Structure 1
């Protein structure tokens, strides 16, 4: 059992390290509100992953995968949420005009950063919803967990255990991402850098949402 847990933990780490919507949200919210909001986003995504692990143990994820209509509804809801977050970021960084109609200078060091004041509860909710509305996480458990089940073990209990392992691994990795991003806060919050990163992450989230919506 120990070997199976370690193997699954390593596999979960490799999956967590692959850039995805959750990691992008952690980076974006860390930029907007610092390490606290980035960490809250990471914990929210980890709790979402744990919920999918529990659902897989009870067979809900497998049933969702087989029921095309329900799977499509969850997938489109997740895509719409990503598009909303991406569009929100891009809208916040739209060019503004000064009183005389000329484009406002956005690279002044004293300019207040848009998106400031993001609360930890909101950041946690964004991470949670981002993961819960991604049915691929449930499919991951259904498709991958059986490959690591030790012979003679309880599928239900082991799947629950693997769900906890995956959530812990994902939380630790994304918390590390949040800490590293927070250490670069001074540079990342320079208005020009901040603006370009917000636009980049917003564009990627928007593209991920559109891609999720149109994929079969």
Structure 2
């Protein structure tokens, strides 16, 4: 029981975590753009994948592997390149498979929820900036005198849960807007390309970031 988070400790952490998750960033921007372009199911599925990708960062932080990655410039650069290229690839695929002008969303096959969930999971898991964020953020809420590894795991689980709820909400509301826009074929076609372009730009930004 000594390793469990206290209520004040968890409350302070959740306030900070929610504010950070709501702040404009790559994850919620991708969920928003995908929800608008492809509907609620797509936005929610991708958002839940992004949220559960935080579990891998929690495990890395608890095991201390994040510190090793942060200390190795080569490992960080390789992971940054891999993450950026993956986002660029997702964006290029979205642009290539965008619906033709004049075609509605219902006339085209879309990625299933499981596939979008997997894409969100990988997109978050290979982002080295999130790895370093967890390494820097979680330990700030670890109380001295109790098992730090167990506390980090609990904090990571709490972060993942609140991120899942927020990203699902973003996907849901973005989908409502998207459904209205997709009834206008010309706008729907541009939304597909815009979503793909956002993924490409985020990938290039990650690759170029110092």
CA distance in 2: counterparts of 1:199 and 1:32, whole angstroms: 9
Per the normalisation by structure 2, the TM-score is 0.86
Unaligned runs of 5+ in 1: 97-105
Q: CA deviation at 1:173?
A: 0.3
Query: Does residue 22 of the first structure (1) align with residue 27 of the second (2)?
Result: yes
Q: Secondary structure at the match of 2:53?
A: helix
1:144 to 133, 137, 140: 137
Query: Does residue 112 of the first structure (1) align with residue 104 of the second (2)?
Result: yes
Cα separation, partners in 2 of 1:70 and 1:159, compared to 1, 3 Å? same
Q: CA deviation at 1:148?
A: 1.6
Per the normalisation by structure 1, the TM-score is 0.84
2:119 to 126, 138, 149: 126
Query: Does residue 206 of the first structure (1) align with residue 200 of the second (2)?
Result: yes
Q: Secondary structure at the match of 2:82?
A: helix
Unaligned runs of 5+ in 2: 1-5
- The answer to whether the Cα contact below 8 Å between 1:45 and 1:131 also exists between their aligned partners in 2 is yes
**Cα distance per residue 1:109-135 (max 9 Å; x no partner):** xx2338642101110111001101101
Q: CA deviation at 1:205?
A: 1.9
Matched ranges for 1:70-89 at <5 A: 70-89=75-94
Task: Point out the more displaced range, 158-167 or 185-194.
Answer: 185-194
Q: CA deviation at 1:31?
A: 4.1
Larger-gyration structure (1/2): 1
Q: CA deviation at 1:191?
A: 2.0
- The answer to whether the Cα contact below 8 Å between 1:32 and 1:115 also exists between their aligned partners in 2 is no
**CA RMSD across the alignment:** 2.1
**Cα distance per residue 1:3-40 (max 9 Å; x no partner):** 12111111111221123332233234434553223222
Query: Does residue 163 of the first structure (1) align with residue 168 of the second (2)?
Result: no
CA distance in 2: counterparts of 1:44 and 1:93, whole angstroms: 22
Query: Does residue 192 of the first structure (1) align with residue 186 of the second (2)?
Result: yes
CA distance in 1: counterparts of 2:164 and 2:108, whole angstroms: 24
User: How many aligned residue pairs are there?
Assistant: 203
CA distance in 2: counterparts of 1:154 and 1:35, whole angstroms: 40
Task: Point out the more displaced range, 164-173 or 85-94.
Answer: 85-94
- The answer to whether the Cα contact below 8 Å between 1:149 and 1:158 also exists between their aligned partners in 2 is yes
**Cα distance per residue 1:159-202 (max 9 Å; x no partner):** 00110011011101001111112322431312233233333332
Q: Which has the higher helix share?
A: 2
